[in-house]
Amino acid sequence: MPISESDVRHVAMLARLALSDEQVTQLTEELGAILGHIDELQHLDLADVQPTAHPLDMTNVMRPDEVRPGLTREDALANAPQTEDGAFVVPPIVGGGDDA
Amino acid sequence: MIDLNTLTAREVRDRVVAGDVSAREVAEAAFGRIEAVDASVHAFLELTPEIAYEAAGRIDAAVAAGEPVGPLAGVPVALKDNMNLVGTHTTAGSKILGPYRSVYDCTAARRLLDAGGMLVGKCNLDEFAFGSSTENSAYGPTHNPWDLSRVPGGSSGGSAAAVSAGMAAIALGSDTGGSIRQPGALTGTVALKPTYGRVSRYGVIAFGSSLDQIGPFGKSVEDCALALEAIAGKDPLDATSAAEPVRSYAAGLGEGVEGLRVGIVSDLLDVEGCAPEVRAAFYAAAETFASLGAEVGEVRLPTARHGLAAYYIIGPAEASSNLARFDGIRYGHRAADATDVLDLYTRSRAEGFGPETIRRVMLGTYALSAGYYDAYYGQAQKARTRIIDDYRAAFEHFDVLITPTAPSVAFKLGEKADDPYAMYLSDVYTIPVNLAGVCAVSVPCALDEASGLPIGLQITGDYFDEATILRAAAAIEAERALDLTPPLVTELLDAQAAEAGMAAQRDAALRAEG
Amino acid sequence: MAADRLTDVMERYEAVIGLEIHTEITASRTKMFCGCPVAFGGEPNTRVCPVCLGMPGALPVPNEAAIEWTVLAGLATECDIALWSQFHRKQYFYPDMPKDYQISQYDLPFCSDGRVSVEVDGPGAAERLDRGHALESGLLTGDAEAYTTVIGITRIHLEEDTGKMVHVGGAEGRIAGADYSLVDFNRAGTPLMELVTEPDIRTPEEARRFAQKLRQIWLALGVSDCSMEEGSLRVDANVSIRPRGATGLGTKTEVKNMNSFKSLHDALAYEIVRQAEVLDAGGVIQQETRHWDVGAKRTSALRSKEEAHDYRYFPEPDMVPFQFTEEWIAALAGRLPELPDARKARFVAELGLPAQDAVVLTSDTALATYFEDAVAAAGAERAKAVANWVTGEFAAHLNAAGIGADASPVTPGALAEIVELVDGGTLSARQGREVFSAVIETGMAPSAIVEQRGMRQVSDSAAIEAVVDRVLAANPDEVARYRDGKTGLMGFFVGQVMKEMRGQANPGVVNDVLRARLG
């Protein structure tokens, strides 16, 4: 199944990747080739098969409602590119980001 | 004086516990080997002498005081650089995590160190474990100790090379589609992917959440068994880790394969692309099993050949989601002067991710996107169910299944760079194992006559039946008794011996004089 | 006036409203997928760990208690509980999202297909212009002044809350015009129930009552502190309109940022009118998200993104599915407390209270419990009298003091005592109120106060007759005018008698004696 350049641009936006025009062109070709190989799956008759929910036959794994020690704020912020007053700094939302 | 780096983990441990050698000496020897060869091999991204020597000190003090020490006391170990450990950087082989310092421990890594392992360093990998050659690392490739112009395999190429070249006795890697087993085969090391859920995934940077497992590289089957004992077991921090009790995997290794039902996966072998020398070595190994008393037959896994396609949807889909968190906000690379949040995201990620990572994130996002989910992800998960059924059926009639680990010996650096899908084919035998979630080990079964390069046999077992596949691997190992010292190391040892010989002569001459 | 405008619009259009209500499970000690504590406020990023910060390699492990609470919430709203369910990943990028996906549920929620009855009375009932017709057809029960509607619950699922953002530099801390934002992940990972209703709500008042009713149920259950101010209860609405008689659905808008029940009502009223005006002018409703501006009293569209979200849901591979048994669900059901509707029904059936009183008493769990404790002390035969006191004097006191029933210095036992004293004739109603205030001021027991102040009401007819005779003798002109027809002077005579008896005369007896003497 071929993929178009506009598909690639759309997917790049979903994945939040700034691609150059050259990258878009190259990826269109590469992804198209890969998808071409993967397409063989379409020819399998799997209509009556359930998708795998989990490789093991395990269900109901949960934990008790008990407090565990977390990170100190120092550790939480240790790798942050930019912080202010203990919070992570981000540039303005307007013009960018999703919201839900 | 024997070069300590030639010993297996168990041999080192026994000597340390007996007081024949100190843990500190072992650590010094390991760092000495690293200094001698890693400039050429480039297995390591970071060395951790502080951590190693601190552990050595504690072990030596305990031994001196007659206190108990762990089952891997004094063993030099290494970790793939996608495993978090406080006190180290964890880069995942990516620029996006270049400056990242771990603030918590990967459970499996922690258990390995608690068992007495002395961490010598963090190993190179394909970026985010995406690859089969370690050429996708943002920090330069690792070179195969058997031939420096060739790849060590991937994505755990650094871990494999570290053990192969005697820089660590045990190294942990991660395996999503073959990333432990395939480099094991290409570097002549024993390499184990445990059953999904056998070992905790907490703390290893996720690639394919339903496929990933952490596992050991060792110079011997026994070493892998010991490492598995140390790291396996339920972890309350990993909801997919199994409650299955941990056996002693090392006991019973020598029991042989009399009556073992061994199944050759014939239809996978029909998939084209298997090099003749690999095919020959594989069938020789099958014959060896027969000669040792195993019942060797043929089995089919009809859907396994479609595993590659299913894997290259499920893996990238899960990975694309797991890598969304790299957004320049809480850690990692942030693009300079971002004007707004969208700019921050898109440039940080485009700048920080390498080409294969971008390919997989794009592929995975596409496979999950509206309108494509059923055809891609949904269909792949159905194919997966069939593959699981195939293995279940096979294990009703066979105890272990065998295939080659990789379709060829180590290939040249750059050889597969232009065709991503050609690279993906390296994993054709290993991928179905991850889709099913069963366990498999790669054990060296031959050295190619023409090139001298190692060839690996993959032995696959039923869920949580690591004991059986390790026993089968041990049988091959014992029968073959291969010298798995790569030429690089042989040269080094010869040079050391020569040096020692010359030094002895100098001493003798001096004594004669004086 | 806004209400008139709404009525005018609703004569021509029918509103179709669905609500999405997010409730933080504050009853849980820890977050949904990690062991960090659940709490409100605190210094930023001090209740975090690798999991809720989305650090590389961290994994989620689901909180069993939070799942039980969600199932209880489903049982309390008559939902079916799924025997097989899963979490899914909902993928989108936003700075308050530590993983840039939210672990939520998609097509296998824990609870589905429930219902909540909502009673609408008072002026708000009039918003439902078609209620006569709906009552006739059985869609509603009750009558035109006070009707009951049943709102379907499509689903209740469980997910994790996001972090919190503060926007710096813009007007009033809003996103628009901000220079940058600060993110705090203390709240990230808090267990969050999302309840979605069927689009069965037809008026802003019904929406408000539904939200209030749901809050009552949640409070009775104990699953959350349900604070709209602190954000542990959040209500969003989807609203569309269609011409009366039409069956298809109009284009809906989503309305957010309604931070009180009143805002919920007013925002919906505004939006319905706004949509009508657009359609009346021949325009088309844009499917968009609109924020309620409580100051400006209007909704405004958010700067919408280029396309609808593609959340790329897929089953969460870091956790295994859930398989519940009927036995497990039944055992949980045994933990359900008496819910407001059942309690209300019991007050009517067993205590003989009028429905109106029962509604008020069960509107607040603490109040209902207080009432029951007071009845236990005063005796079931005094239930109505206790109800009058609780819904009257006591409620006013709680309101004035800004406290809950369980924080009042007037214990249920003390209130019961006062009720007995008044009901039994020892005190007049006015004296009863005096004692009530005195209990609050002094903390003394009612009987002690009565003793100390010598407040026993005089009901002895002989004593009262004596005083009545003196008063009538002292006021002959007024007696004459009364007998001439100025019956209003009765109040004067009663006042005079009370004055002489320092307010302690039983007013009923005083009236009887005066009437007898005056003829």
pLDDT of B503 reads 86
Which member of B164, B179, B348, B442 is catalytic? B179
Are the C-beta atoms of residues B388 and B410 closer than 8 Å to each other? no
pLDDT of C356 reads 85
Q: Respond yes or no on whether ipTM tops 0.90.
A: yes
Q: Which residues of chain B are in CATH 3.90.1300.10 domains?
A: 4-245+260-308+381-495
pLDDT of C428 reads 84
Buried b (16+ CB within 10 A) or exposed e, B172-196: bbbbbbbbbbbbbbbbbbbbbbbbb
Residue C484 has pLDDT above 50, yes or no: yes
The residues that bridge with C15 in the sheet, in sequence order, are C241
Cβ–Cβ below 8 Å for B341 and A92: yes
Between positions 240 and 279 of B, the ones with CB within 8 A of C are: 240
Q: What is the pLDDT of residues C267-288, one digit of tens each?
A: 999 999 999 999 999 999 999 9
Q: Would you list which residues of chain A are within 8 Å, Cβ to Cβ, of chain C?
A: 14, 16, 53-54, 56, 58-71, 73, 76-77, 84-94, 97-100
Is residue A27, in this structure, part of any structural domain at all? yes
Are the C-beta atoms of residues B186 and B151 closer than 8 Å to each other? yes
CATH number for A13: 1.10.20
Residue C235 has pLDDT above 70, yes or no: yes
The C-alpha atoms of residue C121 and residue C249 are separated, in whole angstroms, by 27
pLDDT of C306 reads 43
Pairs across A and C, CB distance < 8 A: 139
Are the C-beta atoms of residues B225 and B494 closer than 8 Å to each other? no
Cβ–Cβ below 8 Å for B306 and A40: yes
Q: How many domains does chain A have?
A: 1
Are the C-beta atoms of residues C240 and C249 closer than 8 Å to each other? yes
Cβ–Cβ below 8 Å for B334 and A82: yes
Comparing C-alpha atoms, which of C337, C326, C409 is closest to residue C369?
Answer: C337
B209 is catalytic: no
Task: Locate the chain A residue with the closest alpha carbon to B209.
Answer: A54
Helical (H) or strand (E) element with C192: strand C191-197
pLDDT of B271 reads 81
Q: What is the pLDDT of residues C324-343, one digit of tens each?
A: 999 999 999 999 999 999 99
The C-alpha atoms of residue B377 and residue B379 are separated, in whole angstroms, by 5
Alpha helix (H) residue ranges in B297-445:
307-322, 341-352, 355-368, 379-397, 420-424, 431-436
pLDDT, averaged across chain C: 93
B416 is catalytic: no
Mean pLDDT to the nearest integer, A64-71 = 97
Alpha helix (H) residue ranges in B236-340:
266-269, 276-291, 307-322
Strand ranges for chain A from DSSP E? 83-84, 87-90
Query: In this complex, is the C-beta atom of A87 within 8 Å of any C-beta atom belonging to chain B?
Result: no
What distance, in Å, lies between the first and last C-alpha atoms of chain C?
Answer: 54
Helices B9-18, B49-64: inter-axial angle, 10-degree rounding: 50
Selecting from A61, A73, A84 the residue whose C-beta is nearest the C-beta of C46 gives A73
Pairs across B and C, CB distance < 8 A: 94
What share of chain C has pLDDT > 90, as a percent?
77
The C-alpha atoms of residue C52 and residue C31 are separated, in whole angstroms, by 8
The C-alpha atoms of residue B29 and residue B5 are separated, in whole angstroms, by 7
The whole domain housing A23 covers 5-42
Residue A8 has pLDDT above 50, yes or no: yes
Residue A98 has pLDDT above 80, yes or no: no
pLDDT of C307 reads 52
Residue A100 has pLDDT above 50, yes or no: no
Per-residue confidence of chain B (514 residues) as pLDDT tens digits? 689 999 999 999 999 999 999 999 999 999 999 999 999 999 999 999 999 999 999 999 999 999 999 999 999 999 999 999 999 999 999 999 999 999 999 999 999 999 999 999 999 999 999 999 999 999 999 999 999 999 999 999 999 999 999 999 999 999 999 999 999 999 999 999 999 999 999 999 999 999 999 999 999 999 999 999 999 999 999 999 999 999 899 999 999 999 999 999 998 888 878 999 999 999 999 999 999 999 999 999 999 999 999 999 999 999 999 999 999 999 999 999 999 999 999 999 999 999 999 999 999 999 999 889 999 999 999 999 999 999 999 999 999 999 999 999 999 999 998 887 788 888 999 999 999 999 999 999 999 999 999 999 999 999 999 999 999 999 999 999 999 999 999 999 999 888 888 888 888 888 888 6
Question: In whole angstroms, what separates CA B493 from the centre of its chain?
Answer: 25
Which residues in chain B have Cβ-Cβ distances shorter than 8 Å to A96?
A: 340-345
How close does chain A come to B324, measured CA to CA in Å?
A: 7
Quickly tell me which residue has 């109106």 as its tokens.
C356
Distances (CA, A) of B286 to B185, B463, B472: 16, 22, 11
pLDDT of B514 reads 64
pLDDT classification of C304: cutoffs 50, 70, 90: low
Question: In whole angstroms, what separates CA C267 from the centre of its chain?
Answer: 18
DSSP state string for C85-148: E--EEEE---TT-SSSEEEE-SSS-SEEEEEEEEEE-GGGGGG-TTHHHHHHHTSSEE-SSSEE
Residue A95 has pLDDT above 60, yes or no: no
Q: Which of C74-88, C229-243, C432-446 has the lowest mean pLDDT?
A: C432-446
User: What does the block give as tokens for B325?
Assistant: 């968190």
The residues that bridge with B204 in the sheet, in sequence order, are B83
Selecting from B103, B239, B365 the residue whose C-beta is nearest the C-beta of C50 gives B103
pLDDT classification of C375: cutoffs 50, 70, 90: very high
User: What does the block give as tokens for C450?
Assistant: 């009565």
Which residues in chain C have Cβ-Cβ distances shorter than 8 Å to A85?
A: 44, 182
Cis peptide before B408 (omega within 30 of 0): no
Residue A99 has pLDDT above 50, yes or no: no
pLDDT of B399 reads 98
Q: What is the pLDDT of residues A21-46, one digit of tens each?
A: 999 999 999 999 999 989 889 899 99
How close does chain A come to C91, measured CA to CA in Å?
A: 9
Residue C344 has pLDDT above 70, yes or no: yes
Long-range contact pairs involving C355-364 (C-beta distance under 8 Å, separation at least 24): C357/C384, C357/C387, C357/C388, C357/C391, C359/C119, C359/C121, C360/C391, C360/C395, C361/C387, C361/C390, C361/C391, C362/C216, C363/C212, C363/C216, C364/C216, C364/C219, C364/C404, C364/C405
Which member of B94, B132, B137, B155 is catalytic? B155
In this structure, the strands spanning B118-123 and B76-80 are parallel
Are the C-beta atoms of residues C437 and C395 closer than 8 Å to each other? no
Distances (CA, A) of C35 to A35, A72, C65: 41, 14, 12
Is residue A16, in this structure, part of any structural domain at all? yes
pLDDT of C308 reads 67
pTM: 0.91
Which residues in chain C have Cβ-Cβ distances shorter than 8 Å to A76?
A: 45, 48, 53, 185
Is residue A34, in this structure, part of any structural domain at all? yes
Radius of gyration in angstroms for the set of CA atoms belonging to chain A, rounded to a whole number: 22
Check the CA dihedral B63-B65-B66-B70 and report its sign. negative
Comparing C-alpha atoms, which of B206, B353, B367 is closest to residue A11?
Answer: B367
**3-state secondary structure (DSSP) of residue C179:** coil
Task: Locate the chain B residue with the closest alpha carbon to C319.
Answer: B239
Q: What is the pLDDT of residues C38-79, one digit of tens each?
A: 999 899 999 999 999 999 999 999 999 999 999 999 999 999
pLDDT of A1 reads 57
**What is the CATH T-level fold of the domain B4-245+260-308+381-495, as seen in this structure?**
Amidase signature (AS) enzymes (3.90.1300)
How close does chain C come to A26, measured CA to CA in Å?
A: 25
pLDDT classification of C365: cutoffs 50, 70, 90: confident
How close does chain C come to B378, measured CA to CA in Å?
A: 9
Angle at C10 between CA C7 and CA C16, to 5 degrees: 135
